[in-house]
Homo-oligomer: A and B are copies of this chain.
Amino acid sequence: MRKNHFHLPEGVIYLDGNSLGPLPKKAAERVTQTVGNEWGDLLIKGWNEAGWFHQPAVLGNRLAPLIGAPQDSVVLGDTLSIKVYQALAAGLKMRPGRKVILSDTGNFPTDLYMAEGLINLIGNDIELKVVSPEQVEDHVDDSVAVMMLTQVDYRTGRLHDMASLTRKAHDAGAVALWDLAHSAGALPVDLEGCKVEFAVGCTYKYLNAGPGSPAFIYVRPDLADDAEPALSGWMGHASPFAFDIGYQPSPGIERMRVGTPPVLQMAALDAALDVWEGVSMHEVRARSIELSELFIREVENRCPQLKLVSPREYENRGSQVSFAFKEGYAAMQALIAAGVIGDFRAPDVMRFGFTPLYIDADDVMKAVAVVEDIMRNKSWDRQEFKQRAAVT
């Protein structure tokens, strides 16, 4: 759909845009410009003249339509871990007396870790209850303060029904917090229609904003003025440059800003969002399903060693497909060496992301041929591929 907008290295089929999106050509230009013409030439004046100060909110408004959020309900900054913490802390404050944060084993671990850290601080008998993804709906009851879920399982691609689970949370009087790490830019999301209270996500996966690009947080507009910022930094203050001794939160979503925004990363994100101009998320979803279905069918036909661990029905999947294989780590290294880049998740999951902005059916067929070759020849069975790196 937008292949020519990206820098895609020769000889590589990149099926890991669900982990780190490739470089949009404009992002390279934009960052160079921000470094040279803004930081270099404007120096401190960049905060006003290049609009750095407002980037977190401006980019929030650019991103909002991709996740079904209204204007002025999203702000960028920090990391997803930090944004989870902010949302969770604010959500708990909205349900005093309730003691349970409900999550599932398919949540990305950092969300659970951040909840642990928060509980460890607060004490007060707050409990993190982690059930299997299938059991979540049975555990949403009136003890639950916040239901905290990642919509698309990072290992299997299993897709939660956001509308239905949010409704159940609301029926039980709980607040819903959705992590959209594997949703934003991957499939249509309707935060507003689902009446979700809080959502968070990252921008370095399907949104292609680069390694370590800022995270986002959404707060439902009718709640934003009452959401208590646990991480009450000066950039979320009502008047940051009054330098008052006491904290006064900004009205609306900007209270979820914390410290000085990462201007160079914001520049890359801005350019990455240019690529999305005029793109229909419904069309992206349709193409992603076509590509994923094709991949599953071909791999299952040609590589009996690999066992599908993603849901078979596309309605229940995000935009990735995962196969289990005992030697999955080494097999993925062999694939990468052969130019097909996916990734591995412990203990045995080989993940492949399908990103229609720059991946087409031809890429998928070529990738399958490489997978087949490696499985048939056991090319993974070499010491060099079994050696674990720091980042798997």
Contacts and interface: CB of A to CB of B under 8 A. Distances in A.
Interface of A: 7, 9, 12, 14, 16, 19-20, 22-23, 27-28, 31-32, 35-36, 38-41, 43-48, 52-54, 78-82, 85, 89, 105, 108-110, 112-114, 116-118, 120-124, 130, 155, 202, 204, 210-215, 228-235, 237, 241-247, 258-266, 268, 336, 341, 343, 345-346, 389-392
Given A23-B35, A258-B81, A230 B40 contact: no
25 contacts: A14-B43, A19-B44, A20-B46, A27-B35, A31-B31, A31-B35, A38-B211, A45-B336, A78-B78, A78-B259, A79-B259, A82-B259, A109-B244, A109-B247, A113-B232, A113-B247, A114-B231, A116-B246, A118-B230, A122-B122, A155-B243, A211-B264, A212-B261, A262-B265, A264-B265
Contacts of A230: 117-118, 120-121
> Which interface residue of A36, A81, A215 has the most chain B CB atoms within 10 A?
A81
A116 B210 contact: no
Contacts of A235: 81, 110
Contacts of A14: 43
Contacts of A130: 245
A54 to B, nearest CB: 7
A328 to B, nearest CB: 13
How many identical subunits does the complex contain? 2
Contacts of A242: 346
B81 A247 contact: no
A259 B44 contact: no
A181 to B, nearest CB: 11
B80 A41 contact: no
A132 to B, nearest CB: 11
Contacts of A80: 259-260
Given A108-B234, A114-B232, 9 more contacts: A23-B36, A47-B391, A78-B79, A110-B233, A114-B231, A116-B247, A123-B124, A212-B261, A264-B264
Contacts of A237: 109, 113
A266 B210 CA distance: 13
Contact of A262 (B38, B52, B110, B262): B262
A347 B213 CA distance: 35
A80 B78 CA distance: 11
> Which interface residue of A48, A212, A215 has the most chain B CB atoms within 10 A?
A212
Contact of A40 (B7, B16, B19, B234): B7
A233 B215 CA distance: 14
A268 to B, nearest CB: 6
B346 A243 contact: yes
A202 B35 contact: no
Contact of A241 (B113, B155, B391): B391
> Which interface residue of A247, A264, A268 has the most chain B CB atoms within 10 A?
A264
Contacts of A243: 109, 155, 345-346
Nearest to A83: B259
The 6 closest A-B pairs by CB, nearest first: A79-B259, A117-B232, A81-B233, A211-B263, A110-B234, A212-B262
Contacts of A78: 78-79, 82, 259
A40 B54 contact: no
A184 B230 CA distance: 28
Contact of A23 (B40, B117, B343): B40
